[in-house]
Structure formats: C-alpha cells, structure tokens
Amino acid sequence: MVNCELLGDVRGVQHYSDGRVVRTSKPQWPDCAADPSFEKDEIGCKDVILDEGTGMWARIFAPKSATVVHDASSTGKHALLVYFHGGGFVAFSPASSIFHGLCSGISHKMGMIVVSVAYRLAPEHRLPVAFDDSFVSLQWLQSQAKKSPMDRDPWLQNADFSRIFLMGGSAGGTIVHYMAARSIHSDLSPLEIKGLFPVVPFFGAEERSKSEIRSLVQPDVLTLADCDTFWRFCLPEGTNRDHEYCRVPSAEEIVKIDPMPPSLVVVGARDVLHSRQVEYYEELRKAGKDAKLVEYPNRGHFLLFPEVEGEMDYSYGEMIQFVNKCSTL
C-alpha cells in the first residue's frame, strides 16, 4: 500500500499527496441558508445558478424595494455590488456565515443589490479558475442587463447596471484587481463598473515582507503559515509565490489597465499582509490611478468581521461617500 502524505491542512481543508481533498463537515463559519422572506431588515437573499456547466452560483441580497415588480418603463434605481469572498482561494463560499452577514449588512445599510459570487475553489481548481469564474459572474450580469426589465431575474429588475461596484476581501480583493484588468479586454456593455473596493487584498512573494516578519512574534488571526498553505494549494503546479497571480502588480502593469475605475483600498495595520497591501496602493498611485487608502490601526485581516475581531467603530460612511462620488463619474 502506497503511503499517502498530508500536504497541508488549512481552515478545514486537507490536501493529500494522492490528490484527495477533504473538506470538513463542520467549517469554522457554518453555512447560512438563503432566506427570500425579507423578514430581517427587509433584506432578502436567494441563490441563482450562473453557469450550468460548472455549477457556479451566486447569492443575491436585495432590499425589498428592489424586488417590487414595476412596468417595463421603470428605470433601475439600486446600484449593484458584486462581492468576491475571501478564503485564500481555497475555503468558504457566499453561504459562509461571515460573508452572508457582511453582504446582508451592505445591502441593508447602503441600499444596494449585492451579488456574492461562488467561484470554484483550489486545490481542486487552481488559479486562474477563480478569476475565470469571477469574470463569468460579470458576463451573467451583462446578459441580465441586455434583457428588458420584465424579462430579467425579478430581483434585478430594478438594478442600475450603469452603477456597478466590485468588492472583495482577502483573496476576493485580489479578484477585484484582476476583474478590473480583464474588463478592459472585453465588451461588458451595458455594464459600467464605477468603483473598486479591494479590502485587505491577498498578495505575497518569496521574500518575506516587514509585516510578515513581524507576524512571527505578533501573530494575527490569519497566520503566515495559513498564507503559505493557501498559496501552495491555489497557485499553478510547479510555481512559487513570485508568480504573477501572487505578487503585487507593478505600476508598469497597472498603467495598462486603462481606463481603471477608482479604488478604495481598505487595510488593517495588524494584518500579516499589511506591507503588501500598502505596496499595492502605492503601485496604484505610481501608475496614476485614482486610489484612496483607508487604514485601521488596531485591526487585522478580519477587520470587517465582528465575529472574529470584535465590534469596531466602523461606519459605512467611507463606502457611501465613495459610491456617491464614483456614481457621478
């Protein structure tokens, strides 16, 4: 009998040398069922299939007012936010309780329709599959936008497809960047991507950064060992952390993303990835892009999630101001 070696174990995902992947039946953050009843904060959610071939899906969160059926002449009034969840490209989904709660809160507090994307995960599906799937979500929205309002998914009938924002945390923040890069090579009309929210984006390199070294003595909830395992699981076979999917894009690369919507980069100073995230913001600025950095000095990688880091003095004011500014561009 051939010995089977455990290659890694991170956030309930075990990968073995024979190719097997075992995912825990009791994840760190259990799944929440979709609830289209609008009983909590008048926000409902439902799951939709985006690609029958791959089984790719998304969870739509919408204010009750966005789902009221109007006549065909009705114009869209609710901005759309496409959300890409974190988990190192390896773990979790839109149903995971922390992402479910965040997206529901955004829809409630900002009055937006939120489409939270379930891209396929590594190590079964290594990068660039997550990027490919995420772009499929934009193409699905494009197909909805091209229909008459009465023929769309009812929850998108009152969507304003000329005000689309992309948001993601951790791995999802990295996806946001790559969606901006891919969108310039494809005709997504009538979609108009107005702004980007890369929150604690997930970048790395073989050489250790200042915040990675610091984390060895002052660890965050997300550890350096977690990051290394995520990258081993998700990067193409035979590559390392200097691969283009991992490293911070250079200003020379970013300048080619033209036009690029404005970016609001959100980071926590205690995050193991903090140095890379600030470097990303600096490269955006070097490339002449419209970018703003919002830094929380006492928060780590899970800064938006009170379930992990406790309640914080955080309002949606920065996001609302950013959305309002970008909506007029």
Return d(Cα 275, Cα 136) in angstroms, integer: 31
Please report whether residue 4 resides in a domain. Answer: no
The full DSSP string for 107-136 is HHHH--EEEEEE---TTTS-TTHHHHHHHH
Q: Please indicate whether residue 170 is annotated as part of the active site.
A: yes
pLDDT at residue 318, rounded to an integer: 86
| β strands within the chain, DSSP E | 6-10, 13-16, 21-23, 43-51, 56-63, 78-84, 113-118, 159-169, 193-199, 263-268, 291-296
Mean of pLDDT values over 173-182: 98
Q: What is the pLDDT of residues 101-130, one digit of tens each?
A: 999 999 999 999 999 999 999 999 999 999
User: Which two three-digit tokens encode residue 85?
Assistant: 């969840």
Nearest 5°: the CA angle 66, 69, 75 is 65
Q: What is the pLDDT of residues 67-76, one digit of tens each?
A: 876 554 445 5
Please report whether residue 307 resides in a domain. Answer: yes
Work out the mean pLDDT of the chain and round it to a whole number: 92
Query: Would you say residue 292 has pLDDT above 60?
Result: yes
Mean of pLDDT values over 281-297: 97
Mean of pLDDT values over 239-248: 98
Mean of pLDDT values over 204-213: 98
Name the β-bridge partners of 43: 40, 63
Query: Would you say residue 241 has pLDDT above 80?
Result: yes
The full DSSP string for 134-165 is HHHHHHHHHHHHTS-GGGS-GGGTTEEEEEEE
Return d(Cα 89, Cα 167) in angstroms, integer: 15
* Catalytic position from the list 134, 170, 209, 215: 170
Q: Please indicate whether residue 160 is annotated as part of the active site.
A: no
Across 3-17, 72-86, 89-103, 232-246, least confident range: 72-86
Mean of pLDDT values over 305-322: 72
* Catalytic position from the list 226, 271, 274, 275: 271
Return d(Cα 19, Cα 94) in angstroms, integer: 26
Query: Would you say residue 261 has pLDDT above 70?
Result: yes
Band of residue 314 on the pLDDT scale cut at 50, 70, 90: low
Query: Would you say residue 200 has pLDDT above 60?
Result: yes
Please report whether residue 126 resides in a domain. Answer: yes
Please report whether residue 10 resides in a domain. Answer: no
CATH code, domain with 91: 3.40.50.1820
Between residues 199 and 69, the one the model is more confident about: 199
Full domain range(s) for residue 299: 30-67+74-327
Q: How far is C-alpha 323 from the chain's CA centre?
A: 17
Please report whether residue 21 resides in a domain. Answer: no
pLDDT at residue 1, rounded to an integer: 41
Band of residue 39 on the pLDDT scale cut at 50, 70, 90: confident
Within 237-312, where are the H helices?
251-254, 274-286, 306-309
pLDDT at residue 317, rounded to an integer: 82
Q: What is the pLDDT of residues 52-105, one digit of tens each?
A: 999 999 999 999 988 876 554 445 589 999 999 999 999 999 999 999 999 999
Please report whether residue 19 resides in a domain. Answer: no
pLDDT at residue 308, rounded to an integer: 64
* Catalytic position from the list 15, 85, 177, 301: 301
Query: Would you say residue 3 has pLDDT above 80?
Result: no
Q: Please indicate whether residue 148 is annotated as part of the active site.
A: no
Return d(Cα 243, Cα 100) in angstroms, integer: 31
Please report whether residue 18 resides in a domain. Answer: no
Band of residue 316 on the pLDDT scale cut at 50, 70, 90: confident
Instruction: Answer for the pair 136, 51: CB distance below 8 angstroms, yes or no.
Output: yes
Percent of the chain with pLDDT over 70: 94
Query: Would you say residue 255 has pLDDT above 80?
Result: yes
Across 33-37, 72-76, 258-262, least confident range: 72-76
Please report whether residue 20 resides in a domain. Answer: no
pLDDT at residue 306, rounded to an integer: 67
Whether the upstream peptide bond of residue 190 has omega within 30° of 0, thus cis, is yes
pLDDT at residue 315, rounded to an integer: 61
Structural domains in the chain (count): 1
Query: Would you say residue 48 has pLDDT above 90?
Result: yes
pLDDT at residue 294, rounded to an integer: 94
Query: Would you say residue 18 has pLDDT above 60?
Result: yes
